[in-house]
Structure 1
Amino acid sequence: MADESKLQIAIVGAGIAGLGAAIGLKHHPAIDVQVYEKATELREIGASIALGPNGMRTLERLGVDNALDDEIAFRNKSKYPMIYRHWKTNEIISTDSHAGEVEYRHLTARFYRAHLQEALAKHVDPSRIHFSKAFESVTFDRTIRKLVITFADGTTATADIILGADGIHSPVRTFFVPTSSTAWTGWVAFRSVFLYSHVAHIKDLPDEANHFWGPDRTLFISKLGRDLFTVVGSYQADPDAPDAPYKDSTWNSDGDVDTLRDFYKDWSPLVRQIVDAVPSTRIYPNAAAHPLETWVLGSGKVTLAGDAAHAHGGAFAAGGSLALDDAWAFVSSILYVLPENATRKPNDAEILKALRIYEKTRKPHTDRVMSVVHQNNKNKVARYSQARELETDEQLRTRIKNRVDPSWIHEHDVQAAFAQAVADETTDQVSAGEQARL
C-alpha cells in the first residue's frame, strides 16, 4: 500500500530501468516507491544481454554487487569487449578495446537476461512490485493533487511522479506522445540460449564473445553464466516491402532452427557446427522510434527511462547499460531536490526541476546514440537490398575494421553528465532571475 504522507513515485515496468530506479530510492525515508508490472510474474522476456563498463559501474553504485559476480556475468578473458571474425575463414579481423582504464569487475559482461533481472529483484521488497498491472491511462486529480493511474484491470493507483520504464513499445510514452510509436527496422534477431553442453564437443569453439561478420548478416556467440551459451543470428529485409518475411512477427515468438541453419549454410564449417548444435531459437523483430522532443511529460510530473525513453532498436548491445544509467540519473535528480534530510516534500516546481535535470543528464547522450543507430539501420537496409556479390571480400574486411567505435557509449560517464546538468540548471535559473529583474 502506498504511503501518501511521502513523495509517491510510481514506476511502470519492472525491467532493468524500473528495478534499478526502485533500488536507488528504496532507502529514502520520505519516498514511497511502487512498481507496477503488466506481467503476471517477474519474468524477463529475452535472451542474452551485454553490459559495458558504464552499466557495470552503475550496478555497483546501486549496490547490486551480486550482478557483478562471475557466476552470472561472463567476461572475455582477453578483456576485449568484442572480437570480430570472418564468416568464411574464422580469422580475427578486429577487436573492440576499452578506451579508459577498466577494473576487472567493470569489464564488458554478458548475462542471461533472467539472471540479471533476478539479481536486481533481490534488492527490491516484493511487496512493492504489483503484477498484472498493465498501464492504460493517467489523469491529474486536482482535489488530491495527485496523478491517478488506471490499469487495464480497472484498478487505480496514485502518484506524485510517474517513471515510465515499460519498454520499447511503452504505453506510457505513447499515451503522452501518440506519434511516438515504433516501426519495424526490417532486422530480425534469432536468439538462442541453451546449456553449454550442446556445443562443448565442437573443436576450436571460441571461448570468448565473438561476432562473425558476413556480406549480408552476422552471427554472435558467447558463453553466459551458469554454464549457458548464446547464439544470435540475424535476418535483414526491406521494412517497406509488403511481402517482407517476419514483417508481422512478434517479440519472443517461436523460431525455426532449420531456417536459422539455412541462413548460415554457406558459412565456415565451424559456424555451421555451432548453428547445427542450436536446439531451439526465438524471434525478436527489431523496432525503433525517433527521439522525443522532451522527456518531461504530464505537466512536469512524468518522465521515461530505458527503451521507453529512447526506442533506439539496437544500440551496439548497449540497451541494458543505457537503462541502468537512466535509473541512476533519475534517482540522483530526485535526491537532488529531496535529500534524505529533507523536512518536507518537494513542490511542483522542485519536481519539475528534478525531471529537467534528469533530462539534461541523459537525453543529449541517448539522442546521439539514436542518431547513430538510425543511420546504421538505413545503411543496413541499403546494403542488404543489393546483391551479396556487390561487396568484395576486401570491402567486407574494410567495413569490419572501419565500424563505429562504441567506446563512447559503453564508457559514458553518467556522473559527469549529471554534474554538468546540475550546473546548467543552476545557470539557467540565475539567467532567468536576472532577466526577470530587467
Structure 2
Amino acid sequence: MADTPLQIAIIGAGIAGLAAALSIRRVLPQQDIQITIYEKATELREIGASIGLNPSGLRILDKLGVNAALDGSISHRQRGEWPMIYRHWLTNEEIGHDEYKGKIEARHRMGRFHRAHLQAALVQAVREAGDVEIQLRAGITGVEVGDEGGPAVISFENGDQIKADLVLGTDGIHSKVRQAFTSGHELKWTGQVAFRSAFDVSLVENIDSLPDDAIFWVGHERTLFASRIGKNQYTVVGSYIVDPNDPSSPFYNAKWSGPGDVEFLRSLYKGWHPVVESIVNAVPYTKTYPNHAGTALPSLVLDSRIALLGDAAHTHGGAFAAGGSLAINDAYCLALSLAHVWPQEGKPTHDQLRRALNLYDETRRPLVTRVLDLVHGAAQKRRWTGGNAENGEKETDEELRGRIANRPDMTWLTEHDVEAEFRGVISRERDGTDVVTV
C-alpha cells in the first residue's frame, strides 16, 4: 500500500460526480484512494424535473449495484417495446417510433426518473460503497497545476486551497474547472426553451385516452413530451423555438430553472389535439430552461491531472436525452482507465496518471464529438429547431411527417457499449496504434 493514498478531488455532486466516485470505489475496491466530492450547494439536490437513462447508462448502473435504478422503484418504463413514440400535434396519430437494435435486457430498457430520486439513489450507493467524503458549501474559484509532476491546486470561495493528485471536473455545463483551462470555449443559446415540470400522476390519470407510454408530440416549431416517471410522478416538457440572435425574442434572457408561466405554456398548445391540451391544462407549475450548447473540446483532459466528465466535458445542451447516460459512461470509463494503469505496488506515478487520462480521452472523445457535431450540424438544425423548411418557407404537414420519418437512428449512442470501446482502445494501443496524448 502507498505511504499516502491517491487524492482524488471531484468537483460537483451531480450525476457525473456521484457516478465517478461510485465507479472508482467499485472498480478499484482494494486500492488506497481518498475521494472527496466538493459541492457548492448547501444541500444535495438536483435542479430539474425528469431525466431518462438509456440502455448504455443503465447497464453501467447495473454493474455498479445501483439496484433502485433498475428494479422499477424509482423509474418508469414503457409498457410497449418502443423507447419513444412520436405523435402528430393535431391528429394524435403515430408518425414514428424508436426501436431497440441490440439484445437489450428488460431492466436495461429506457428508464425515466425524477432527477431527485436518481440522485438520491446514487448518493445511497456511494455511501454504501464507503470512504467517500462529500463536502457541501464548497464552491471553487479556480484550479491550476504547477510544476511538471506536481499536484493540482484547487481554490475555494472561502479562501481555502487543497492539493489533489487528480481532479475530476463534474460541475456541469457552466463548469469552472473547464473555464480555468479553456477560456475560449463559448456556450451559445440555441433558441430553444424547455418548460419542465414533474408532479403527481393523479392530476392527469383521469384524462381520456391518456397514453401509458412516453409520447413526443411534434409540431412545426414546438413539441411536447409527456410521460410517467418513477414514484407515481408525471412529467411534462414543452419545447419552444425562437430566433436566438434576436434580442426581442421571448426568453432571450431567461434563467436556467427560472419560474415559468403556466398560462403561456398552455397558450403554446391551444388548438393541438384534445389529449395534449388536457395534459398541459393539468400542469400545476412550470420552470424555464433555456438551452445552451458549445462545440466539442479538443480533449476531455485539460492537464495531466485534470479530466472533465458529464456536461462539463460535452456541452451538448441536453440533446437526445442522453446527458445522464453519457455522464455515467464517462465515470465508468475513467475508473477503467485508472484500473488499467494501477501498479502492483503503491499508487500510480504522474506518468501513469497521464496514461490513464489519455485512455479515458481516447475512449470517450470520439463518441461525444459525434454527438456535438450532430447538435451543431445544419441537418440537425433543420430537423429539430425550426418550423421552417430548408427554403425558408413555412414547413408543410408533409415536410413535418418527413423529418420524423427521416430522423437519425441514435442507437449508436443509446446502446453504446463503453466497456467494448475501452477494450478496443487498449487493443489498438497493444498493436502499436498511437493513443492521443495530452
Give the letter for the 2:57 counterpart.
Answer: G
2:199 pairs with 1:197: no
Indicate the SS of the match to 2:207: coil
Match of 2:227 in 1: 222
Q: For residues 341-371 of structure 1, what are the alpha-carbon distances to aligned partners after superposition, in whole Å with 9 as ceiling and x for unaligned?
A: x311111111110000000110001100111
Looking at structure 2, the residues matched to 241 and 384 of structure 1 have their Cα atoms a distance apart, in angstroms, of 17
Equivalent position SS for 2:295: coil
Structure-2 change in CA distance of 1:87 and 1:102 (3 Å): same
Deviation at 1:79, TM superposition (A): 2.3
Structure 1: 5+ residue stretches without partners: 433-438
| Higher alpha-carbon deviation: 23-32 or 315-324 | 23-32
Deviates more, 1:372-381 or 1:97-106: 372-381
2:57 is equivalent to residue 55 of structure 1: yes
1:275 offset after TM fit, Å? 0.5
1:394 to 1:4, Cα distance in 2 relative to 1, 3 A: farther
Match of 1:296 among 293, 298, 301: 301
The CA distance in 2 between the partners of 1:431 and 1:235, in whole Å, is 42
Q: How does 1:351-366 map to 2 (within 5 A)?
A: 351-366=353-368
Q: After TM superposition, give the deviation of residue 424 of structure 1 in Å.
A: 2.7
What amino acid is aligned across from residue 173 of structure 2 in structure 1? I
Which runs of structure 2 are paired with 1:20-99 in the superposition (5 Å)?
20-26=19-25, 27-99=29-101
User: Matched residues in 2 for 1:256 and 1:344: separation?
Assistant: 57
Q: Does 1:15 align with 2:20?
A: no
CA change 1:428–1:163 in 2 (3 A) is farther
Deviates more, 1:127-136 or 1:48-57: 127-136
Conserved 8 A contact 2:76-2:112: yes
| 1:270 positional shift | 1.2
Q: How far has the Cα of 1:93 moved from its partner?
A: 1.3
What secondary structure does 2:152 align onto? strand
Aligned partners of 2:434 and 2:49: how far apart in 1?
A: 48
Kindly provide the CA deviation profile for residues 106-150 of structure 1, in whole angstroms up to 9, marking residues without a partner as x.
001100001100000002238611111112112335599321211
Stretch deviating more after TM superposition (63-72 or 281-290): 63-72
Q: Is the 8 A contact 1:186 1:381 kept in 2?
A: no
Between the aligned partners of 1:382 and 1:304, the Cα distance in structure 2 is 28
State how far apart, in whole Å, the 2-side matches of 1:347 and 1:9 are.
14
Whole-angstrom CA distance in 1 between matches of 2:39 and 2:403: 42
The percent of aligned pairs where both chains have the same amino acid is: 47
Alpha-carbon distance between aligned partners in 1 of 2:42 and 2:216, rounded to the nearest angstrom? 35
Whether 1:403 and 2:407 are equivalent positions in the alignment is yes
User: Does residue 1:170 correspond to 2:175, yes or no?
Assistant: yes
> What does residue 128 of structure 1 align with?
133
Contact preservation (8 Å) 1:188, 1:283: yes
Does the alignment pair 1:372 with 2:374? yes
Letter in 2 for 1:383: G
Q: In 2, Cα distance between the equivalents of 1:142 and 1:4?
A: 22
Q: Match of 1:268? A: 273
Change (3 A) 1:382 1:358: closer
Hey, what does 1:436 align to over in structure 2?
none
Question: Equivalent residue for 2:258?
Answer: 253
Q: 1 CA distance for matches of 2:100 and 2:434?
A: 39
Letter in 2 for 1:186: G
**Separation of aligned partners in 2, 1:184 and 1:422:** 38
CA distance in 1, matches of 2:133, 2:212: 40
How many equivalent residue pairs?
427
Deviations 1:2-23 (A, max 9, x none): x981111111111111101101
Q: Are the aligned partners of 2:359 and 2:435 in contact in 1 as well (CA < 8 Å)?
A: no
- Of 369-378 and 48-57, deviating more is 369-378
Are 1:417 and 2:421 counterparts? yes
Q: Is the 8 A contact 1:237 1:384 kept in 2?
A: no
Q: Any gaps of 5 or more consecutive residues in structure 2?
A: none
CA contact (8 A) 1:238 1:381 kept: no
Residue of 293, 311, 315 corresponding to 2:315: 311
| Counterpart code for 2:247 | P
Distance 1:430 1:24 in 2: 27
**1:5 corresponds to:** 4
8 Å contact kept, 1:50–1:111: yes
Of 61-70 and 139-148, the range deviating more from structure 2: 139-148
Q: Find the aligned partners of 1:103 and 1:431 in 2 and give their Cα distance.
A: 33
Q: Distance in 2 between the 1:393 and 1:141 partners?
A: 59
2:215 is aligned, of 207, 210, 219, to 210
Letter in 2 for 1:312: H
Closer, same or farther in 2 for the Cα pair 1:88/1:431, shift >3 Å? closer
The one-letter code sitting in structure 2 at the alignment partner of 1:10 is A
1:182 is aligned, of 181, 184, 187, to 187
Structure 1 Cα separation of the partners of residues 404 and 261 of structure 2: 29
1:385 Cα shift? 5.9
Q: CA deviation at 1:74?
A: 0.6
Tell me the CA shift for residue 430 of structure 1.
Answer: 8.4
CA distance in 2, matches of 1:389, 1:203: 36
Distance in 2 of aligned mates of 1:361 and 1:247: 37
Bigger shift: residues 5-14 or 123-132: 123-132
C-alpha distance in structure 1 between counterparts of 2:402 and 2:262, whole Å:
31
Give, in whole Å, the separation in 1 of the partners of 2:134 and 2:241: 38
CA–CA separation in structure 2 for the residues paired with 1:237 and 1:430: 44
Scaled by the length of structure 1, what TM-score is found? 0.93
The letter for the 2-side match of 1:133 is A
- For 1:425, the aligned partner's letter is E
Tell me how far apart the structure 1 counterparts of residues 139 and 382 of structure 2 sit (CA, whole Å): 36
**Separation of aligned partners in 1, 2:227 and 2:139:** 34
8 Å CA contact 2:429–2:435 kept in 1: the answer is no
TM-score normalised per structure 2: 0.93
